[in-house]
């Protein structure tokens, strides 16, 4: 359990803030089963991390289209250019989870600074947070595209700390993915795991554990707002 109230909350975007279950109808149409979306998403995370370990990088949306075609080949399902484009448009227009706005509004009112850190690259047409109608809740939006490495590479979390001119221990990553919280914890950040459907704690000795495990953003606000404020600044 954490011993101090975090100063800056860094929110993962895909699945944590935005609901990727909105992609299920597309995968039902293509593969005949909505849970094919989960297979695609798991492969997307696996191969994004593999690219980072190998020293390569392509934008996440480009990789996502390639993973869709790879799964199509593996399952004998033809994937067209239109299918890949439909996936790109759908991932750029994901809705926010219903608890996001009320939870974030409460955290902002309590004095927390809120930013995002996403594996997705910026797009000229605007961010998914803008399309979901929640961009106004965040102070800044950060993308790993700036360092051309995917989370949980250390450079991604340092990107946020450096840009905000704060030490890493001033940050608390909020994510639905234990692999993301592991990366943040290893650098000295705090971390909160939000148990979105299909996600859970990894009970394994030697694995850095999140400081908070919550069901949704309202529960996160309950936990964090109950903590006493620190007297020092983020730069101290």
pLDDT by residue for the chain (236 residues), tens digit each? Answer: 456 899 999 999 999 999 999 999 999 999 999 999 999 999 999 999 999 999 999 999 999 999 999 999 999 999 999 999 999 999 999 999 999 999 999 999 999 999 999 999 998 888 999 999 999 999 999 999 999 999 999 999 999 999 999 999 999 999 999 999 999 999 999 999 999 999 999 999 999 999 999 999 999 999 999 998 866 544 43
pTM score of the predicted model: 0.94
Regarding the domain delimited by 8-19+95-225, which CATH topology (the fold level of the hierarchy) does it fall under? Rossmann fold (3.40.50)
Say how far apart CA 9 and CA 225 lie, in whole Å.
Answer: 12
Domain ranges of the chain: 8-19+95-225, 20-91
Q: Could you tell me which CATH number the domain at 20-91 has?
A: 1.10.150.240
Q: Give the long-range contacts of residues 50-54, CB within 8 A, separation 24 or more.
A: 51/150, 52/149, 52/150, 52/153
């Amino acid at each position: 359990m954490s011993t101090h109230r975090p100063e800056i909350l860094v929110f993962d975007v895909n699945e944590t803030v935005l609901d990727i279950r909105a992609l299920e109808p597309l995968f039902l149409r293509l593969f005949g089963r909505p849970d094919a979306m989960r297979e695609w998403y798991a492969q997307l995370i696996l191969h994004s991390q593999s690219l980072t370990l190998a020293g390569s990088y392509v934008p996440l949306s480009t990789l996502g289209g390639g993973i869709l075609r790879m799964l199509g080949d593996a399952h004998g399902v033809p994937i067209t250019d239109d299918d890949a484009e439909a996936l790109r448009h759908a991932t750029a227009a994901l809705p926010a989870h219903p608890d996001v706005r009320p939870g974030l509004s409460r955290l902002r009112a309590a004095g927390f600074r809120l930013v995002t850190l996403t594996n997705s690259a910026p797009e000229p047409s605007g961010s998914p947070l803008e399309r979901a109608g929640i961009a106004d809740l965040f102070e800044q939006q950060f993308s790993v595209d700036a360092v051309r490495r995917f989370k949980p590479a250390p450079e991604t979390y340092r990107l946020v700390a450096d840009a905000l001119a704060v030490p890493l221990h001033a940050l608390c990553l909020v994510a639905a993915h234990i692999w993301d919280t592991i990366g943040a914890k290893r650098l000295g950040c705090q971390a909160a795991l939000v148990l979105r459907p299909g996600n859970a704690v990894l009970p394994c000795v030697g694995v850095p554990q999140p400081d908070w495990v919550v069901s949704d953003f309202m529960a996160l606000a309950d936990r964090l707002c109950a903590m006493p404020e620190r007297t020092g600044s983020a730069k101290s």
